[in-house]
A and B are shown apart, each in its own frame.
Chain A
């Protein structure tokens, strides 16, 4: 008799069966968003969604889903419908994601580095911290040129210019005076790569020891090499944690980010039923929901606000709402075709 084995490591699990072929189901709890789609899809009711509200909000050390290894038949369906790939299914060590005979949910997120201006708006907006923008800023000294000279005979080493300089370009090497050298500094140095010729030092020098002029102010931008002004860089999306919510696409000022979503649908909130407990706001992996601030005195705003531009229609909020004030409908599922009628039917059942 062949039976499944289960290995549990912290909150993750692995269920496997070895016969003619080795079949394995691997679950990563830190990726799971607690949407419950796997529970709804499992044809043998082996998966049970935990008390997601309590788990996410109180940080309980409990897995978001559990799978009964005695019920699980290792079909792999849960891994196909998981919108964030928290479940992975392998046959003989090969993921079914790489097998054409299995259907796949279609979704993607990309940033085009040719268009990207590396403003980091997407990095800041990403609700999953999945985006990293690495950028190389232009060399400051190439954007502004000028002349600066400090007359060391006139300079009294007061250090006012050093303290005032916004670019930290001036250094005074302070020292204790000695009878043979009764001065308080051994040298004053201007780093011309840092200097932006703002002339603050010249204006604040109490003894007018600094002569400085800015060429950019006199000649405009004629001597500026356009190539020297460009910020270069590269973008990185961690596809393991990315939920393809669309924040990067919506916030990008130059349309460099493109997100393709799996589900089309609708999100409805019944404002009269809502008790504003905040469970949905805390659970949503996409930062779709928020508590609005009142803008007009004496007028109470909606209890919970939503912006469907960022919604992936995973249904986590619908599941967690204690008073059934939220309804998430899935009207269309973007997936690659399958010849199996039973798989097609099961995937289709996620439409509501």
Chain B
């Protein structure tokens, strides 16, 4: 049973830790691998206008890393 990546912008601090922690994002974007925010919608998620937003969620492999790092339960798998 495949889980789904979910976000709740009401909880999001806009810190972007999920963006840089995500191993898929880091493999897609050199900026993310270097610890910066993403500059391409090719990544799974990005902080836009201070909130997390999913751009390419179909690339998510459900490893759970973003959920482990998020301090406010704004991104999770269910």
A60-B77 in contact (CB<8A):
yes
A51-B23 in contact (CB<8A):
no
Interface size on B, residues (CB 8 A): 20
Q: Mask for B5-29, Cβ within 8 A of A = 1, else 0?
A: 0000000000000000111101100
A37 within 8 A of B: no
CB < 8 Å neighbour of A63 from B1, B23, B65: B1
B78 within 8 A of A: yes
Interface of A is mostly: loop
Residue of B nearest to A63 (CB): B1
B65-A51 in contact (CB<8A):
no
Q: Mask for A34-62, Cβ within 8 A of B = 1, else 0?
A: 00000000000000101111111110101
B76 within 8 A of A: yes
Residue of A nearest to B3 (CB): A51
A50-B23 in contact (CB<8A):
no
B2-A278 in contact (CB<8A):
no
CB < 8 Å neighbour of B64 from A57, A63, A66: A57
Smallest Cβ distance from A183 to chain B, in angstroms? 64
Contacts of A58 in B (CB 8 A): 64, 67-68, 76-77
B54 within 8 A of A: no
- For window 263-305 of A, CB contacts with B under 8 Å fall at 273, 275-279
B23-A323 in contact (CB<8A):
yes
Smallest Cβ distance from B49 to chain A, in angstroms? 27
Smallest Cβ distance from B67 to chain A, in angstroms? 5
A144 within 8 A of B: no
B1-A48 in contact (CB<8A):
yes
A320 within 8 A of B: yes
A253 within 8 A of B: no
B61 within 8 A of A: yes
Smallest Cβ distance from B28 to chain A, in angstroms? 9
Residue of B nearest to A51 (CB): B62
A54-B1 in contact (CB<8A):
no
Residue of B nearest to A323 (CB): B27
A322 within 8 A of B: yes
Contacts of A60 in B (CB 8 A): 3, 77-78
B3-A55 in contact (CB<8A):
yes
Contacts of B33 in A (CB 8 A): 275
Most buried by B among A51, A58, A63: A51
- For window 47-68 of B, CB contacts with A under 8 Å fall at 61-65, 67-68
A interface residues with partner B (beta carbon < 8 Å): 48, 50-58, 60, 62-63, 66, 273, 275-279, 320-323
